[in-house]
Amino acid sequence: MAVQLLTPEGMFAPVPYHHVSVSTGARHVHVAGQIARDADGKPVATGDLAGQLAHALRSTARGLAGAGATFADVVRLRFFVTNWSPEKYDDFIAGIERVTDELGIPRPLPPLSAIGVDYLFEPDVLVEVEAFAVLD
């Protein structure tokens, strides 16, 4: 396996992700920020953070698959969320959990950052997902 996920003793826990990933592969896969748009560019799950996040993760999975990777190969995830506030946490987690089994997303998640931003791409976009993976 090209990716080992771990949380060394003494690091902040519990969190729904690992703090460290170690990759040993030679082929890197970068999936650009995915948003809630269908294949025709039409908005999906307007106004629904959990729905948009689930769709963006499905698109991320398609991008990974196109390069021969899966979420098991992901070294790092990055989420950008508009107008972040702690009240959005439950919807954020619900969007991830909605597709975790379907997409084979590891639990705990790979190392991740969730970054609050003022806005993204277009006004209806609530979240964007980026992934970085390594293959043998």
Confidence at residue 93, expressed as pLDDT on a 0 to 100 scale: 97
CB burial of residue 73 (10 Å; 0-12, 13-18, 19+): buried
Non-local (6+) Cβ contacts of 9 within 8 A are: none
Confidence at residue 24, expressed as pLDDT on a 0 to 100 scale: 87
At 52, the amino acid letter reads: Q
- What parts of the chain have a pLDDT lower than 70? 1
* Nearest alpha carbon to residue 106 among 17, 11, 7: 17
To the nearest 10°, the Cα dihedral for 115, 117, 120, 124? 100
C-alpha to C-alpha distance for 27 and 9, rounded to whole angstroms: 30
Confidence at residue 2, expressed as pLDDT on a 0 to 100 scale: 81
Whether residue 117 contacts residue 80, with contact meaning beta carbons closer than 8 Å, is answered with yes
Confidence at residue 1, expressed as pLDDT on a 0 to 100 scale: 64
Whether residue 113 contacts residue 15, with contact meaning beta carbons closer than 8 Å, is answered with no
Confidence at residue 34, expressed as pLDDT on a 0 to 100 scale: 97
